[in-house]
Chain A
Amino acid sequence: MSEMKASSLWPVTLRWSAPRTITAVVVIALLAVLPMIAGALESSYYVSFATRVLIYALAAIGLNFILGFGGMVSLGHAMYVLLGAYAVAIPASHGVTSGFAHMALAVAVCIPLAACLGAVALRTSGIAFIMITLAFAQMLFFGAVSLKDYGGDDGLTVGARSTLGGLDLSNNTTLYYVTFVTVLVALYLSWRAVLSPFGLVLRATKSNPRRATALGHPIFRYQLTAYVASAVVCAIAGVLLANLTLFASPAYGAWTLSGELIVIVILGGLGTVFGPVVGAIILLALEEALPMLIEATLPDYKSNWMLLLGLFIFFVALLLKRGVFGSLKP
């Protein structure tokens, strides 16, 4: 088979010398040693911050599976993050601290919920799909607000991090590495799935659903399966998020977070497996660094840092049509 064109979105074989591959390897290597660097700087804050980045990356990997590869623009994926967080906080408030139980509960609730909501939402497409996923997320958001026994509007504090076999998640570095490994597994699984026969049809449903149907593919079944898988990844991100913050709140399901996940996916590179990781790093690092930068230079305008972030996203959208990672040669 001849070499793939640079313009092709779907490299069949990984080329180790390609800028994309090199970037991904370097980023993963840096993430792998990050706690050691932070340790040398004696700054545990950065380990927590990096864990948050990875959790966002994980949720974005989940969203990317349907948004980037299936063309389904869900503006409600934060609801599954919310669900995962409450799958930690609610059992914890009853004294159940097992991380396996939290994970099992999150997945067990997420699959039927996503299957039902997805089955309804997928009756539509385009703008209607965006609106209906947003509506479901808002319903879950207000559902969480109405849980008066579990903090309602104020959210629910988690007493301690989940127990996970021999792993001590109360150690920030351990939690970081658990998150890091989860991200790696999610990346590997989505890479395999995208190249699989399932992935070929899923990508076709994005590119030309009419043609895929006319060929005989039952595309609804493919889209729904992808939607559920993507929701489960977000729910797992929610479990990790509640562990990181020791808190679960309706705000985790806010539509703004759903929007942020979309921005991460697009910023990194729609329809690239590794793009969400790059997108999460860039967006969260900017959200962290820009206020500090402005405070140091123009303290009067500190509250206007979002303007700079907006400008950055504007230029990425304008100049790099395929996002930061997606613009690199595969």
Chain B
Amino acid sequence: MSALVTRSLVKRFGGVLATDHVSLTVEPGELHAIIGPNGAGKSTLIGQLAGEIASDEGSVHVLGTDVTHMPTHKRAQLGLARTYQVTQLAKEFTALDNVLLAVNARAAHNFRFWGNAHHDAGAMQKATTALATVGLSHLHQAEVGTLAHGEQRQLEIAMALATEPKLLLLDEPLAGMSQGESSAIISLLKSLKGRYPMLLVEHDMDAVFALADRVSVLVYGRIIATDTPDRIRENAEVRAAYLGDGA
């Protein structure tokens, strides 16, 4: 069963077709990357998959379940986890509390008014493990607002992992990162590859070609090609539309 299937997904903003009949799949264990020039509709597509943006037409299936009309939090409970292009964290929380919040999203009995959230040893263990996975153990008590940009990006991924996802949507995880920070994230994503089906939206071509099993090229909301990285590199239409564009 595919982790993610979209069929003819459409989103219109006024007269603009932001998502133009997009059909794609993410297979189990696959890393499927989406590339495309600015304004191609990549973030809109992620928003539709996560449920933050309602689709006008088409359908989305996550692990065989039709989620087309499901609210965001229910999709997350199914195992769909995402990161944001612009970091979305609880800024006043510590790094650990952000991850704990993610762990608790999977807890069956989170509607508890009594008992300290920090005294839940099982949840704390999961939270520390997720922080360790992305290499932020040393900063678990740091307030998020004081973290460097790259560290915040890593924390985003830690939160997604802490929800024990069955499908990861990564919206430009390398956005705004320095060279060193990028390579840390790339090796992290490499280590996660195969363990989770992932849909990766990314600008960084080197990263995409190094990581992806398949690449889809999105131009003006439409997928113009889906293929292995090598063939995408050689595809004339793609070169004309995107790669040739001085990228």
Q: Using Cβ atoms and an 8 Å threshold, which residues of chain A touch B89?
A: 208, 211
Produce 1/0 per residue, B98-124, CB < 8 A to A. Answer: 001110111100111111111010000
B227 at the interface (CB under 8 A from A): no
**Residues of A within 8 Å of B, CB-based: how many?**
35
Q: Please measure, in the bound complex, the distance between the C-alpha atom of A201 and the C-alpha atom of B123, giving whole angstroms.
A: 14
Known contacts A8-B94, A208-B89, A216-B77; decide if A200 and B72 are in contact (CB<8 Å): no
- Which residue of chain B has the shortest Cβ distance to A221 in the bound complex? B111
B141 & A2 in contact (Cβ 8 Å cutoff): yes
A196 & B112 in contact (Cβ 8 Å cutoff): yes
Known contacts A5-B143, A201-B110, A204-B93; decide if A216 and B105 are in contact (CB<8 Å): yes
Known contacts A197-B110, A208-B88; decide if A214 and B115 are in contact (CB<8 Å): no
- Which residue of chain B has the shortest Cβ distance to A205 in the bound complex? B90
B105 & A215 in contact (Cβ 8 Å cutoff): yes
Q: Please measure, in the bound complex, the distance between the C-alpha atom of A135 and the C-alpha atom of B9, giving whole angstroms.
A: 41
B143 & A7 in contact (Cβ 8 Å cutoff): yes
Produce 1/0 per residue, B60-89, CB < 8 A to A. Answer: 000000000000111011000110100011
A207 at the interface (CB under 8 A from B): yes
Q: Using Cβ atoms and an 8 Å threshold, which residues of chain B touch A195?
A: 116-118
- Which residue of chain A has the shortest Cβ distance to B88 in the bound complex? A211
Number of contact residues on B: which range applies? 35 or more
A143 at the interface (CB under 8 A from B): no
Q: Please measure, in the bound complex, the distance between the C-alpha atom of A208 and the C-alpha atom of B102, giving whole angstroms.
A: 13
- Which of A196, A208, A216 has most chain B Cβ within 10 Å? A216
B50 at the interface (CB under 8 A from A): yes
26 A-B pairs with CB atoms under 8 Å apart are: A1-B118, A5-B141, A7-B143, A8-B92, A12-B118, A195-B117, A196-B115, A197-B104, A197-B115, A197-B120, A200-B100, A200-B101, A200-B104, A204-B90, A204-B93, A204-B101, A210-B52, A211-B84, A211-B90, A213-B76, A214-B81, A214-B84, A215-B73, A215-B101, A216-B106, A225-B111
**Interface residues of A, Cβ cutoff 8 Å to B:** 1-2, 4-5, 7-10, 12, 192-193, 195-201, 203-204, 207-208, 210-219, 221-222, 225
Sort A-B residue pairs by CB-CB distance and give the 5 closest, nearest first: A216-B76, A207-B90, A216-B105, A215-B105, A211-B88
